[in-house]
């Protein structure tokens, strides 16, 4: 398989066939992300990707899912994406789902009809980074899009019949706007009503603008306990019709997996127990991205 640079994928795609169709991220300005710093975004040649699919056809017959990387692979032109999905269906007929990263800007380039065509060709899930529902926080981290737009684009994916997984980032707002960030993010998640929510905890990377702000004292991290309190507030303000709320990423201090609304009260009670010290938090040295 042809992999260039750093390859990332959602935890739920750990056992998927990873096809790198783009290199880097089409936005690549978020202050907290160091994955693609110094990497110029580009679309990989179609012939290279087709060779990887042929490799998968020979050696990856146990994997039932395909995940398309890098960051925001949904930015691919519609005709190219449709050809790719049809090739996957033809050469990897045992695959049951194809997933992809997509940000609000790339979703905006797809009409509802285009998204439905992608669904009909095998695209089963889009992973979108909301990060925060707080407008001030989003502007500070240079997300490049308003929360109202992300809500609209998330709904657009769902209405096309494609599953949506939304990522949010605990501790991103620092101590000053922690409560605002948590409440606003819960409200944004409720408005989107995705199939999955993944709450990660911020880990400051030295090769990022946020990392430099942290080292120079311009950004302060909240404590593990405050991060857990933020998670509690966020979940309390999140109302999903029937979605999974995960906070079991390696970066999190307390693993949580809840089906909302069914498990909401029990999960809030679990967080309260951890806040009281009855449940130990993950030590810092075990956290990872």
The CA distance from 289 to 154, in Å, is: 24
The CA distance from 259 to 254, in Å, is: 16
Is the pTM higher than 0.75? The answer reads yes
Contacts of 50 (CB under 8 A, 6+ apart): 87
Question: How far does the chain reach from its first CA to its final CA, in angstroms?
Answer: 23
Beta bridge partners of 98: 66, 123
Decide if domain 11-284 falls under CATH 3.20.20.70: yes
Contacts of 288 (CB under 8 A, 6+ apart): 203, 250, 251
Tens place of pLDDT for every residue, the chain, 289 residues? 999 988 989 989 999 999 999 999 989 999 999 998 888 999 999 999 999 999 999 999 999 999 999 988 999 999 999 999 999 999 999 999 999 999 999 999 999 999 999 999 999 999 999 999 999 999 999 999 999 999 999 999 999 999 999 999 999 999 999 999 999 999 999 999 999 999 999 999 999 999 999 999 999 999 999 999 999 999 999 999 999 999 988 899 999 999 999 999 999 999 999 999 999 999 988 898 7
């Amino acid at each position: 398989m042809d992999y260039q640079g750093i390859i990332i994928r959602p935890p739920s795609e750990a056992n998927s066939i990873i096809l790198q169709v783009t290199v880097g991220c089409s936005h690549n300005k978020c202050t907290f992300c160091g994955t693609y710093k110094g990497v110029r975004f580009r679309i990989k040649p179609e012939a290279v990707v087709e060779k990887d699919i042929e490799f998968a056809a020979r050696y990856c017959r146990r994997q039932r899912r395909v995940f398309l990387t890098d960051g925001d692979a949904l930015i691919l032109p519609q005709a190219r994406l449709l050809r790719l999905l049809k090739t996957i269906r033809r050469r990897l007929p045992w695959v049951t789902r194809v997933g992809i990263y997509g940000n609000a800007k790339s979703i905006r380039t797809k009409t509802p009809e285009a998204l439905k065509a992608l669904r009909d060709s095998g695209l089963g899930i889009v992973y979108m980074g909301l990060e925060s529902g707080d407008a001030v926080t989003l502007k500070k981290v240079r997300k490049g899009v308003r929360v109202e737009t992300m809500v609209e684009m998330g709904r657009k994916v769902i209405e096309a019949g494609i599953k949506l997984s939304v990522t949010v980032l605990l501790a991103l707002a620092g101590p000053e706007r922690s409560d605002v960030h948590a409440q606003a993010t819960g409200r944004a998640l409720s408005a989107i009503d995705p199939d999955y929510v993944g709450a990660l905890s911020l880990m400051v990377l030295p090769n990022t603008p946020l990392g430099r702000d942290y080292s120079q004292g311009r950004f302060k991290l909240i404590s593990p306990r405050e991060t857990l309190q933020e998670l509690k507030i966020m979940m309390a303000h999140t109302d999903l019709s029937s979605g999974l709320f995960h906070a079991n990423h390696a970066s999190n201090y307390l693993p949580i997996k809840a089906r909302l609304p069914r498990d909401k009260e029990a999960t809030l009670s679990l967080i309260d127990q951890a806040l009281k010290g009855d449940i130990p938090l993950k030590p810092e040295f075990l956290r990872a991205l």
